[in-house]
Amino acid sequence: MPKGWFAALALLAATPAFGQAVVSPDVPIDPKSVDGLRKIGAQVLFWSQAQRDANFPHMEKLFPGHIVKAGAKVRPLPEGKPLPVPAAEIDAYIAANNVAGLLVVQDGKIRLERYARGYSREGRWTSFSVAKSFTSTLVGAAIRDGYIQSVDEPVTQYIPDLAGSGYDGVTITQLLTMTSGVRWNEDYTDVKSDVARMFLEAVPAGQDPTVYYMKNLPRETAPGSKWVYKTGETNLIGVLVQRATGKPLATYLSDKVWKPWGMESDAFWMVGPSGHEVSGCCLSVSLRDYARMGMFALSGGKGVVPAGWFADATRPHADIGEPGYGYGYQWWTYPQGRFGAVGIFGQMIRIDPKTRTVVVMSSAWPKATDRALQHAREIFVDRLIDAAAQ
């Protein structure tokens, strides 16, 4: 099963304490400072269950960020026919897998909605790498708005700082599909990995930390020839969209999706040392608005992204080495034509076009990622979608 690894660790785990001693949560930390961000971030993978339950719905209390503003008009989610799945079966899965929120929407109607662990409809929960799929959608919006001409354009057209680096000749498509050919190590247990070192190095004044680090990476293979999961490249996508549009990602997401699609609540998007959103991670969104994002993708995003954008974005462009599974434009692809967004500790949006069903889960798994937990989730999600088809 594909791993929804913690995108923010490219920013957050960059500390000598990562993987070793953890800063005590009782020690006062200034989250507005770069050092403070790193110290708090270094704790995330090591939080106790109580800390995960307390912090996942309130990340804005620990980190600086921007607000994705909702509009005045809310897209309704009326009640539909209850899903024919025994309540005891649902209760057992929620309890065994530390699920905080579970929502099934079919044809725009709610067929199942459950909350636990102190979460509620009025709250919001962190996304971790689910945010990657939101970021890629902004590329589509920028193309339709004329800020970006095509995904076939070279990345250096919009981030000229990358000229002369391993990103020469790499297209936006290859950035979206993580097939740039640039060497990258996403091992969160290795303090020398790229994802851990990304923000440790001193950055010359006036340079973006993400761009500065990424431009010094060597090329490993020809562009388009190999898929490697790279949080740093999602962060580059965010830089690209910001530079092309001249707008913060939170503002652009509000203008293009949150307000016109009728999201119910404001969202929170964490920012990094540059003051820009951490585009590979760290959106905090309500359960129903996660579902609305799935509905938006399922609808094709007419009027916001180019015609056919989601059909292309959610097909398997890259082989990830798992039969039946693949990677699109920052969307995971699954058997039976399904697609979705994934984040560690059990965050998920899954879309099934055949039954027009969206399944959302917000969780606080005891581990960032785990094969047994992933397998159990796949069985349960398949069960829900099959029930929706009845």
Distance CA 294, CA 339 (A): 10
204 and 136 in contact (C-beta within 8 Å)?
Answer: no
Nearest to 239 by CA among 286, 264, 273, 194: 273
Nearest to 4 by CA among 355, 358, 327: 327
pTM attached to this predicted model = 0.90
CA distances from 375 to 131, 141, 354, 364, 369 (A): 22, 34, 22, 16, 11
Question: Tens of pLDDT along the chain (390 residues)?
Answer: 333 333 344 334 332 222 222 233 333 434 444 454 444 555 677 789 999 999 999 999 988 999 999 999 999 999 999 999 999 999 999 999 999 999 999 999 999 999 999 999 999 999 999 999 999 999 999 999 999 999 999 999 999 999 999 999 999 999 999 999 999 988 766 777 777 777 677 778 888 888 999 999 999 999 999 999 998 999 999 999 999 999 999 999 999 999 999 999 999 999 987 889 999 999 999 999 999 999 999 999 999 999 999 999 999 999 999 999 999 999 999 999 999 999 999 999 999 999 999 999 999 999 988 999 999 999 999 999 999 999
What are the helix (H) ranges across the chain? Answer: 9-12, 34-43, 49-55, 87-96, 131-144, 172-176, 194-197, 209-214, 231-245, 249-253, 287-299, 309-313, 371-388
The domains of the chain are located at 9-388
Helix (H, G, I), strand (E, B) or coil at 81: coil
DSSP 123-167: --EE-GGGHHHHHHHHHHHHHHTTSS--TTSBGGGT-GGGTTSTT
Whose structure tokens read 């059909």? 311
Distance CA 175, CA 230 (A): 9
Helices (H) and strands (E) in the chain, counts: 13, 12
DSSP 308-339: THHHHHTS--EE-SSTT-EE-SS-EE-GGG-E
Res 22: pLDDT: 28
Note the CATH number of domain 9-388. Answer: 3.40.710.10
Beta bridge partners of 114: 102
Distance CA 33, CA 41 (A): 12
